[in-house]
Structure 1
Amino acid sequence: MHQENRLPRNGKEGAIYGTIICTLSVLFMGSINMIVAAGEFNGDVAMQMLITLPIFWVIVMVIEPVAIGRMAEALTAKLVSPTDSFNARIMFRTLFTVLGMSFVMTIVGVIYGNGFTTENFYHFIHTWPRNFIIALFLESIVIQPIARFAMVKMHEAQDRKTSPQTHTQIN
């Protein structure tokens, strides 16, 4: 049976794959949101990013596999048949994951930035659509391809280790 080289084959690879995606997502989306909220990038924003992004990374690393990833898999399974292409599966999985993660992380970000206020609903309504579109673009064009490339390279290295090496001597 042919295994897909662009996706993880086991739990360890899944953790590496997920870590790559979550790390890049938090770096890109967290940075964008913090710079937009501050109105500019300066030393204070950079320091806030150094403090905040690791916290958001932990939140994302827990929420994605425990809740959002499972929902995305279930929704994808309902819409994609076994004969559909790899790209169709990835497109739906990415769409549903970004939909859920952008929703949850926008709520977390609004609460983190503003505390529990009555303005949170207003901030969410105008921030979430922007976050969703940017995250979907980044996931589709930058983040997922980087993670899949890492899996391909990892599998190539594994295959080189396990395949017998043939040496031909020329006399």
Structure 2
Amino acid sequence: MTDSPFHTHLPRNAKESVAFMLVIAVISVNTIPVVIGGLSAGFTLAMWTGLLRVVPVLLVAVVAVVLLTMKPAQLLTARLVRPSHGFRTRMLLNALCSVLLISAMMTVVGTWIGTWQVSAEPLKQFALLWPRNFAIALVIEALLAQPVARQVMRRYHQRVDARAALAAA
């Protein structure tokens, strides 16, 4: 364990990393497409029910894209982080780098999933679609999905650490 006050906020092993990623993915898949779809087609019941049909496919796609972009995002984050940066700054930079890569891929893949067809349209419209999608995803990731996932980890680690302390006593 580290002496950082935030040592409980991040996954400590592979199983926890999967849980952490799933919390973020579930929140993201249930909020980001709703905002993007609402801005594109209007916030209607039909738009929302249409999104509900693709959520399972989007969830799989998001997890796959996160896994594909994880290492490049970590490398990019490492180039930006300085030893003087605190935990919150590091998390914000990590969110920025992750969302930059994930939103670029999901702008194309998400459109294909949402329309149920693979076409060149999201590539043609990329310069128009991606900046908006990136901004929406960054706000949701930085202010909602990642903080919630870190709190889930913190509470889980508090319980695990308390049990370990009782067992050691």
TM bin (shorter chain): 0.7 to 0.9
Match of 1:51 among 50, 53, 57: 53
Residue 151 (structure 1) aligns with: 153
- Higher alpha-carbon deviation: 82-91 or 47-56: 82-91
The correspondence of residues 13-162 of structure 1 with structure 2, limited to 5 A, is: 13-42=16-45, 44-65=46-67, 67-112=68-113, 113=115, 115-117=117-119, 119-162=121-164
Q: TM-score, normalised by structure 1?
A: 0.85
Would you say how many aligned residue pairs link Structure 1 and Structure 2?
165
Offset, 1:84: 3.1
Q: Following TM superposition, by how much is the alpha carbon of 1:82 offset from its aligned partner in structure 2, in angstroms?
A: 4.4
Q: Shift in Å at residue 80 of structure 1?
A: 1.8
- Stretch of structure 1 that moved more, 31-40 or 52-61: 31-40
**Does the aligned pair in 2 maintain the 1:24–1:143 contact within 8 Å?**
yes
**Contact in 1 for aligned 2:107/2:122 (Cα 8 Å):** no
Q: Which residue of 1 aligns with 2:165?
A: 163
Aligned-partner residue type, residue 102 of structure 1: S
Q: CA deviation at 1:46?
A: 3.2
CA distance in 1, matches of 2:165, 2:60: 38
Q: CA RMSD in A?
A: 2.3
Shift of 1:159: 1.3
Larger radius of gyration: 1
Match of 1:2 in 2: 2
- Residue segments in structure 1 that go unaligned for 5+ positions in a row: 166-171
Q: Taking structure 2 as the reference length, what is the TM-score of the superposition?
A: 0.86
Q: Is the 8 A contact 2:36 2:136 kept in 1?
A: no
* Residue 15 to residue 116, structure 1, CA distance change in 2 (3 Å): closer
Query: In the alignment, is the contact (CA less than 8 A) between 1:68 and 1:100 conserved in 2?
Result: yes
